[in-house]
């Protein structure tokens, strides 16, 4: 079971790291950390065990606390918590910079076509 949780945590940290790189270019480290901290705070209503620190330090890499938090849960719970955290973060970001810019940031960070995916989902329903 631990191996599966490690994979969920590693995948989650990969998404967060790629997204952070793009967003830090726009708002800086402190801006990103503020957005992330607010997202964690809001997500802790559903998952109180989520860690609050995102910033890289001299002793720990960025998102080390999140990874530790996710690894302590079952894969399903870790995945659900990370999904809520990502949704919360992107909702906050979109409210600040707008939906189109948020979509472009995520497309660049994750190498995906968000609009094309959304269009396909709408036509299949």
Tens of pLDDT along the chain (125 residues)? 445 667 889 999 998 999 999 899 888 999 999 999 999 999 999 999 998 765 555 556 789 999 999 999 999 999 999 999 999 999 999 998 888 888 888 888 877 765 555 444 434 44
User: Which pLDDT value is given to residue 99?
Assistant: 87
Residue 59 structural domain: 2-124
In the chain, how many domains are there? 1
User: Which pLDDT value is given to residue 123?
Assistant: 46
Angle (nearest 5°) at CA 55 between 51 and 60: 85
CA 53: distance to chain centroid? 13
* CA-based torsion, 102, 104, 106, 109: positive or negative: negative
Q: What is the pTM of this model?
A: 0.78
CA 102: distance to chain centroid? 13
């Amino acid at each position: 079971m631990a191996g599966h949780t490690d994979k969920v945590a590693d995948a989650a940290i990969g998404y967060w790291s790629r997204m952070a790189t793009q967003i830090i270019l726009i708002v800086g480290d402190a801006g990103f950390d503020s957005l992330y901290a607010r997202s964690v705070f809001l997500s802790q209503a559903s998952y109180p065990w989520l860690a609050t620190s995102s910033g890289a330090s001299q002793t720990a890499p960025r998102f080390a606390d999140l990874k530790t938090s996710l690894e302590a849960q079952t894969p399903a719970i870790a995945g659900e918590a990370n999904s809520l955290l990502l949704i919360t973060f992107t909702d906050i970001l979109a409210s600040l910079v707008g939906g189109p810019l948020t979509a472009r940031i995520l497309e660049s960070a994750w190498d995906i076509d968000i609009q094309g995916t959304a269009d396909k989902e709408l036509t299949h329903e």
